[in-house]
Amino acid sequence: MADTIPIELPVIDISNPHDPAVGKAMLNAAAKYGFLYVNSKGTDFTVEDVDYAFELSKKFFSSPAQEKETCRIQQNNRGWSGMHTETLDPDHQRVGHDSGSLIPWHRTRRLTLDMINRQGTSKTMNFGDFKDGKAQQPLPPSLVPHEAEINGFAELCNKTCTRVLTLLALGLEVQEDFFTTRHDSSTGTTGSILRYLYYPSIFSPSTATYKHDKDVRAGAHSDYGSITLLFQRPGQPGLEILTPEGSWAPVPIVPGPAAEAGAYPFPPILVNIGDLLSYWTDGLLKSTVHRVVFPLAEQRSPNPQDRYTLVYFCHPVDKTELVPVPSGIVAAHRERTGIVAAHRERTGVVPADGRVGFGGGAGNLVSGKRPLTAHEHLMSRLAATYGYTKDE
């Protein structure tokens, strides 16, 4: 698995979420790459908040298997998953993990049984919405005393998502709170998930049977929701994104010259657009495919590292109707991609930026039909991944 040239993504300061110029910068990055960094300085997190969340994650993953068993992942996608449960990218992957949202349990079980002899490299612990500070799922003994801190971290993630969603609304020139009111979990349940992730190093006995130059730690996928936050640790690389040219580009943990590494209190938070927000904006915002590998540097290192990440998948309130975002910028994009579609029909050629969001776009709403809800969008996304229907 050859490393290619790392991608250079912009680092955006979100300390003032009401600055239209920052909104434009955010929109441009989201429309061009689907990925961007947020400067850790202007967020709601202190270094201690992030360090502590990683500590809790390590504490959990190093706890005895019998303890983790008490919170094994359920149909609602909450809980622990100790081996890979689905193949995200079966053509190019021997091992991997799921991609963030609800897993239909009967499928999960079947796939798990199909692959029982292959160990996955990534281990995950998913937390769904908390209510009044309480987890709505069983917590393992190692985490029971830390319920308040886990909830606190999820709340900080939510606050940062509120900044990002406000800036995206500004960039799209719609009402500032267009997205945030629709992500307000005090108005209903959401599909949002906080996830701890652990990828054992190349030296780990659990990855010993892997071909590190071929196997991946998490298969190629896009995320399902609105936006995703990814927290990474220095010295634990592995994420790659698919460029519009169709090649894999590593994403540095700390962007810019190494000397600037000290510029951030903790590595910038990586933000990416998910399928739902891409759909909602008719593909203007890109839901970019990504994966996690054993990087070449790690394969050659005398001291390869485990990789720990924290991920927050932000989803709208389930009942949100995905009405077309009332933005002139989205409308212009829709118009242009309509022209692109006509061009494609004539010539069979799809220009690189002519892709629309998963399942088409919210703007294709047929008059007289009601829009999809966020929950229905998620279900249709799952149906495409797993080939099942809701009634199955």
Ligand X SMILES: O=C(O)CCC(=O)C(=O)O
Using rule CB under 6 A, residue 142 touches ligand X: no
* 167-206 positions binding ligand X, by CB under 6 A: 195, 197
Nearer to ligand X, 71 or 253 (CB): 253
Residues 6+ apart with CB under 8 A from 208: none
Using rule CB under 6 A, residue 290 touches ligand X: yes
Q: Are strands 35-38 and 11-12 parallel, antiparallel or unpaired?
A: parallel
Q: How far apart are CA 73 and CA 80, in angstroms?
A: 5
Minimum separation from the CB atom of position 11 to ligand X (A): 18
Provide the binding-site residues for Fe ion, judged by CB under 5 A.
223
# binding residues, ligand X (CB under 6 A):
12
Q: How far apart are CA 251 and CA 34, in angstroms?
A: 13
Q: Which of 77, 85, 87, 99 binds ligand X (CB under 6 A)?
A: 99
Q: Which of 129, 215, 223, 240 binds ligand X (CB under 6 A)?
A: 223
Residues 6+ apart with CB under 8 A from 6: 249, 250, 251, 252
Q: Are strands 216-221 and 193-199 parallel, antiparallel or unpaired?
A: unpaired
Q: How far apart are CA 287 and CA 23, in angstroms?
A: 18
Using rule CB under 6 A, residue 382 touches ligand X: no
Q: Which of 17, 82, 96, 100 binds ligand X (CB under 6 A)?
A: 100
Residue type, 392: E
Contacted by 31, from Fe ion, ligand X, none: CB < 5 to 8 Å by type? none
Contacted by 168, from Fe ion, ligand X, none: CB < 5 to 8 Å by type? none
β-strand partners of 221: 290
**Size of the chain, expressed as the number of residues it contains:** 392
Q: How many CB atoms lie within 10 A of CB 134?
A: 11
Nearer to Fe ion, 239 or 330 (CB): 239
Using rule CB under 6 A, residue 298 touches ligand X: no
Nearer to Fe ion, 56 or 218 (CB): 218
Contact criterion met (CB below 8 Å) for 96 and 218: yes
Q: Which of 12, 71, 292, 378 binds ligand X (CB under 6 A)?
A: 292
Query: What does the CA dihedral 378, 285, 249, 210 come to, rounded to 10 degrees?
Result: 0
Nearer to ligand X, 135 or 193 (CB): 193
Nearer to ligand X, 100 or 104 (CB): 100
Residues 6+ apart with CB under 8 A from 141: 63, 67, 70
* 309-348 positions binding ligand X, by CB under 6 A: 309, 311
The number of helices, as runs of H, and strands, as runs of E, in the chain is 9, 14
Q: Draw the binding track, 238-257, toward ligand X (x: CB under 6 A; -: no contact).
A: -x------------------
Closest residue by beta carbon to ligand X: 309
Using rule CB under 6 A, residue 230 touches ligand X: yes
Query: Given the rule CB under 6 A, which residues bind ligand X?
Result: 99-100, 195, 197, 218, 223, 230, 239, 290, 292, 309, 311
